[in-house]
Structure 1
Amino acid sequence: MNVFLSRASVELVEYCDNYGTFFKIKQRMLGKIAMKYRISDCRDIAPARLCAAMNAAFSDYVIPLKLSETAFRTFQRQRGFSAEHSFVALQGDNIAAFWFSGEPRVEFGKLAYTLSVGTLPDHRRKGLSRQLLGAVIAQQQLSGSKGLQLEVIITNDAAIRSYEAMGFYRHRTLRVLKLSSEPASQSLDYAPGPLDLSQIPTETGGFFDTEPTPQNGRLALQALSPDHHLLGIQVEGKLLGWGAVYPDGAVAQLAVHRSVRRKGLGRTILQALWQAAGEDSLTFVNVDESAAAVNGFLEQAGAQELLRQYEMQLHLT
């Protein structure tokens, strides 16, 4: 059963897949909780307010979130935030909960990426996330979306149960790793040089064993350009491999063509990324655990696992 909430009204329209019949449920039947909150998209809400709400929602975590507005705007750009597809629950003028989403992307099978979901502590256990999801789904379907995807830490049992109750399923497992010492480089006749994003092929099957997650994909690099270092090795005009790292040391991509692996190119590119970032460590966020080659390479280079996440998906019909 899919639930849709309109922006302009608190009237709920519930569509029953089994019978193909629409039922209208008036405001009075939503009960006292629903009457206290208003669902709105984010088109008229300033980034500063959204940032404050996100920080407040995660203020009681073991490591509280403390994003600056500048960092929040970078987060929005990197992950494809769409104000039209993102929704908040308002109590008066105050944000009580949010569901930040991107628009559906062809590059990801017309799935839309969920940047973050949160509820401020005083408003939890009131079903706000489910109401927000209804609003998100309604808008996504208008945009031709085939579903949603998000990530959740595998030890967050409560969040996983909640998403599964909403219809999400575990699609794949992703690793987060950290490299704390400069990698050794192999002596080669050629060195990595700066690349333009236009030099990276759109068909990357020969380079990637699995596709990057949205915050590491081509669209993310494009959105944050020129705020990243993109370096590659070319021989006689042919691109053999490349790497991309953000200024904070987060590596978005590391790719070597299958035909030239195990020849030291990966280590050489990795060291170049380390030097370009100028940080005391590199992080690798959302490495697919099924990508045996890249996981083996990173572990051999000295990277240590920090945590794992599930990529979860919800398919719409």
Structure 2
Amino acid sequence: MCAEQKNRSLRLCASWSYESTKMTRIVSFSGSGLDLGALHCAMLVAFSDYIVPLQPDADTFKAALSSRGFDPEASFVAVDDDEVIGFWNVATRNTKRYLIGSGTRIGHRGRGLASRLGMAAIRAAENAGIENFWLEVIEGNTGAERLYRKMGFGVTRKLDCYRLDHPSPDRSSCELSDFGTVANVIQRYSTWKPSWQNATESLYGAQLTPFLHGKGGVIIGAGGLVHQIAASEPSALEDLLAAAATVGSLTLVNVDSADNALCSLVQKLGAHRFIVQSEMCLSLPNVS
């Protein structure tokens, strides 16, 4: 290729890149004119090659957004020809915001969309007087963690996820109780705060099975998901896990890795740790 042809090709590439960027709108989801169906479709494509492929149906997707407090004004999408090609789905709770999930369609990666979406969401949070922005990133997703660090997020703790087929389910030492009572007992004994999706505010209205023990409690959701568990001593924790297992196989998502008693117990019972996550936080200046 001669120098003139090469320069012409470079100009065409630069022009295409500029036009492509120009056509892509970064807007709040509330201002995009699109519905949750478009967001769901983008999520399925973006997560099809994820470390843990997530392919929820439309109802499950909407329920997950709702329970976490999805905020359309705080969430941002990249839109090309009325198609969502990237997204930052964000929740708001008082003066905190949380990244429910983010992604970019496979064919549109490498254009800096994730960075643009993130910065738009952070600027909106600052303008709204938000104090902290929270997220989680799976260990091994180095590209995402590098981007979050560049934006100013720092790791606050490590979170472990386990699957457990309990060898001896037994609810004889526990009793079914109401959500509020068990949540208060867990709060009394817990040494760490549950992550956003397991927080009490995220569980209202969900299908739950709360077990009460004389020295603790456990709240189990649909599919054996252990949202919260705490007790005053390891033997009570063991009783609670045995009771929880009467609903079936258990999944413990986002256990604080510093909770040696719980982590050691589930591993002793044969649990498989399938994910480790880093919880990250960005403290924001109030510019409202």
2:264 paired residue among 288, 291, 296: 296
Contact kept? 2:155, 2:278, Cα under 8 Å: yes
Q: Deviations over 1:16-68 (max 9, x none)?
A: xxxxxxxxxxxxxx954531211222224322221111001112346543210
Counterparts of 1:80-159 in structure 2 under 5 Å? Answer: 80-105=69-94, 110-159=95-144
- Please tell me whether residue 200 in structure 1 is matched to residue 154 in structure 2: no
Counterparts of 1:219-230 in structure 2 under 5 Å? Answer: 219-222=201-204, 225-230=205-210
- Return the offset for 1:266: 2.1
- Return the offset for 1:298: 1.9
Match of 2:162 in 1: 177
TM-score for the superposition, normalised by structure 1: 0.77
Match of 1:78 in 2: 67
SS in 2 for 1:102: strand
Question: What is the aligned-residue RMSD (CA, Å)?
Answer: 2.3
- Number of residue pairs the alignment of both structures matches: 267
- Alpha-carbon distance change, 297 to 246 in structure 1, aligned in 2, over 3 angstroms: same
Kindly indicate which of the two structures has a greater share of residues assigned to helix.
Answer: 2
Which segments of 5 or more consecutive residues in structure 2 lack a partner in the other structure?
Answer: 1-16
Counterparts of 1:1-317 in structure 2 under 5 Å? Answer: 31-43=18-30, 44-61=33-50, 64-105=53-94, 110-183=95-168, 185=170, 188=173, 191-197=174-180, 200-201=183-184, 204=187, 206-222=188-204, 225-233=205-213, 240-256=215-231, 258=232, 261-262=233-234, 264-275=235-246, 277=247, 279=248, 281-317=249-285
Letter of the 2:72 counterpart: A
Letter of the 1:298 counterpart: V
TM-score for the superposition, normalised by structure 2: 0.84
**Structure 1 CA distance for aligned equivalents of residues 228 and 121 of structure 2:** 30
Which segments of 5 or more consecutive residues in structure 1 lack a partner in the other structure?
Answer: 1-29, 235-239
Contact kept? 1:210, 1:288, Cα under 8 Å: yes
**Structure 2 CA distance for aligned equivalents of residues 272 and 203 of structure 1:** 15
- Return the offset for 1:201: 2.2
Letter of the 1:82 counterpart: D
Contact kept? 1:246, 1:252, Cα under 8 Å: yes
Identity over aligned pairs, percent? 28
Contact kept? 1:183, 1:301, Cα under 8 Å: no
- Return the offset for 1:74: 1.9
Q: Deviations over 1:103-157 (max 9, x none)?
A: 143xxxx331100010001111111112112221222123321131111111111
**Structure 1 CA distance for aligned equivalents of residues 39 and 112 of structure 2:** 20
Contact kept? 1:185, 1:267, Cα under 8 Å: no
**Structure 2 CA distance for aligned equivalents of residues 158 and 177 of structure 1:** 24
SS in 2 for 1:248: helix
Q: Deviations over 1:62-112 (max 9, x none)?
A: 65432100110121123221111111010120101000011143xxxx331
**Structure 2 CA distance for aligned equivalents of residues 32 and 166 of structure 1:** 26
